[in-house]
Amino acid sequence: MTPSRNLKLKLNTHRIAGYRHFANTRLFLKPADWARFVLLTLFLPSALSSSLSVSSVRAAEARAIFAGGCFWCMEQAFEALDGVSKANSGYIGGTVARPTYAQVSQGNTGHTEAIEVLYDSEKLDYTTLLDAFWRNVDPVDGGGQFCDRGSQYRSGIFPLTEQQFSLAQSSKEALDNSKLLNGRIQTEITYASSFYPAEEYHQDYYLKNPRRYKLYKWNCGRKRQLDRVWGSIEKLPFLKE
């Protein structure tokens, strides 16, 4: 027998053995089990691949919480950043569980209006978020923000990790020591407690009710005051070169 014929015979023998194993497997499986076997064979690899892909995306998603007066305005400011997927309006820093807007707006629960920022940590770092935060608040105002007065509108940074706390504290100290602002910074930095999402009608209010939102923002004088505070400051002192 020639070598080539011998090789073909061996290959055919292996194929036959494989077919027999496949046939025997099918023979001893019940119809329902056979259907499951086929589905797993066909779809499990792609399902695992999709699962790994989703896990990778979730691993890159990070959270940050800031308070800067009206949460409608803070939502707009942060959702404009490349790398931020969502900013959710809510309440933080109080003593009442699951507070309502009516309760918080009275100023008796200890909460402040805040936003929860969801962002891609591979595109955007926490320091960039801090830069956006400071430029959207009046840090020396300890009685509220702009036209909204009371502790329920106080500015604040609510770190979720030790690294966030360290970066937030360093940014505040650098900004305070720079003497760029007209007074001492009143913004609080406190580890995040429970964040309670606000009612649905508050979420993306600037998109759902653009006319009312723009009227409120203009009458509140937010942009005018921010221009007075930050207009001449090109770069904040805690940012790297």
Task: Give the span between the Cα atoms of 221 and 135, in whole angstroms.
Answer: 15
Tokens of 66: 């800031």
Q: Which of 70, 73, 147, 220 is catalytic?
A: 70
By C-alpha distance, which of 163, 162, 168, 167 is closest to 185?
A: 168
* Residue 220 annotated as catalytic: no
Give, in order, the Cα–Cα distances in Å from 211 to each of 29, 98, 201. 65, 30, 15
Tokens of 30: 């019940």
Count other Cβ atoms within 10 Å, centred on residue 195: 18
CB 89 within 8 A of CB 100: no
Where in the sequence numbering do the catalytic residues fall? 70
